[in-house]
Chain A
Amino acid sequence: MSHNLFANRIVCITGSSRGVGKQLVDYFIGQGASVVGISRGVDERVIDNFYPMQADISNPEELKKVFSFIKSKFNKLDILINNAGISHSGQALFLSTEKVRSMIDINFLGAFLVTKEAAKLMMKNKYGRIVNIGSICSTVEPFGASVYSATKAAIHSLSNSLAQEFASFNITSNTLALSPFPTDMLNTISQADIDWYLNEQKIKRLAEINDITNVIEFFCLEQSSFITAQFIQLGGISS
């Protein structure tokens, strides 16, 4: 396994205190990067070159403080991983407006606002790699996950549009659609539902962290400068 693929790179990861985000922090630190993590809760991990920050990504004022820190500490940002996401399942008729709004705020608006701030730093340096964490839900549209699936479809579309806006600044924007992966979020899903997802996949197993970092690494490498507006789905889902 290679090391220091991202030496001297500054990485920002949202949703960094749990699940995939937490493991991505470990991955990028292991590859020599400095990582600024954003999470709603307190992240008490003490790791060299890891800078956890507490913020609600749907709140522009809180984000301003995070990016002010990044600017003063590093004066650049190379890589953004828009990973934060929440899921409330349930049939549309039984989904409260509050739950719908919270999914839109975190999964879509938050990603947009973080990207907007990140892009300013990236544009200044004429370099950036943005990876948006989507979901195969946007393709397979499972029963009872209408809004979650829609927010992930929105992220995919946003990523492609921004790829166009940012291209002349040497900033790429790509989407990785995750298939079921062992996290707290997956623990809220019944085994029957997990089996349904696996049945939709060509490769019928849960994703592993290496499956995820493999694609993220590809998107984030400097030599991937010609790879943008791409959408990769884990597990062999066909669009």
Chain B
Amino acid sequence: MSELDKIQTIMVDTFKDLADQLGQAEPFECKDEMILFGAGATLDSLTLVSLVVDLESRISDEWGREISLTDDRAMTRAVSPFDTFISLKTYINELVTEK
């Protein structure tokens, strides 16, 4: 399984658990273009925080090292990693594959 596939699986699982926590009847449709933050976002800001905390923990556990999704690198990008599902997935891939 490629790193991107692993990330996809972790993200989908995290969204699934989030939907359960929120008591949603329908799971999130984890499409690449799903907007996470800003206008038209699927999540409100508090739910996004929950998602990021959970995701950060799972990613760190999977790769056996501390991986922060909310440090200055993420926050100072011209395009936020939290814009869409695919932008977050791409950012995580960048973090886990860097030496």
Binding site for B on A (CB under 8 A): 60, 64, 67-68, 71, 116, 120, 123-124, 165, 168-169
Interface of B is mostly: helix
Identify A123's interface contact among B50, B66, B71, B72, CB under 8 A.
Answer: B50
Contacts of A169 in B (CB 8 A): 50
Q: Is the beta-carbon distance between B46 and A168 smaller than 8 angstroms?
A: yes
Closest to A75 in B: B57
A60-B71, A60-B72, A168-B46 given as contacts; is B66 within 8 A of A71 (CB)?
A: yes
Contacts of A71 in B (CB 8 A): 66
Number of interface residues of B (CB under 8 A): 12
Q: How far is the CB of B36 from chain A (nearest CB, A)?
A: 17
23 residue pairs of the A-B complex, CB under 8 angstroms, read A60-B71, A60-B72, A64-B66, A64-B68, A64-B71, A67-B66, A68-B66, A71-B66, A116-B70, A120-B53, A120-B56, A120-B57, A120-B70, A123-B49, A123-B50, A123-B53, A124-B53, A124-B54, A124-B57, A165-B46, A165-B49, A168-B46, A169-B50
Contacts of B71 in A (CB 8 A): 60, 64
Contacts of A68 in B (CB 8 A): 66
Within 8 A of A (CB), among B23-74: 46, 49-50, 53-54, 56-57, 66, 68, 70-72
The number of A-B residue pairs with CB atoms under 8 Å apart is 23
Contacts of A124 in B (CB 8 A): 53-54, 57
CA distance A67 to B70 in the complex (A): 14
Q: How far is the CB of B76 from chain A (nearest CB, A)?
A: 12
CA distance A123 to B49 in the complex (A): 9
Report, nearest first, the 9 A-B pairs whose CB atoms are least far apart. Answer: A68-B66, A123-B53, A120-B53, A168-B46, A124-B53, A124-B57, A64-B66, A60-B71, A123-B50
Contacts of B50 in A (CB 8 A): 123, 169
CA distance A91 to B3 in the complex (A): 57
CA distance A71 to B53 in the complex (A): 13
CA distance A68 to B53 in the complex (A): 14
Contacts of A123 in B (CB 8 A): 49-50, 53
Contacts of B56 in A (CB 8 A): 120
Apart from A116-B70, A123-B53, A165-B46, 12 more pairs, CB < 8 Å: A60-B72, A64-B66, A64-B68, A64-B71, A68-B66, A71-B66, A120-B57, A120-B70, A123-B49, A124-B53, A124-B54, A168-B46
Contacts of B54 in A (CB 8 A): 124
CA distance A165 to B49 in the complex (A): 10
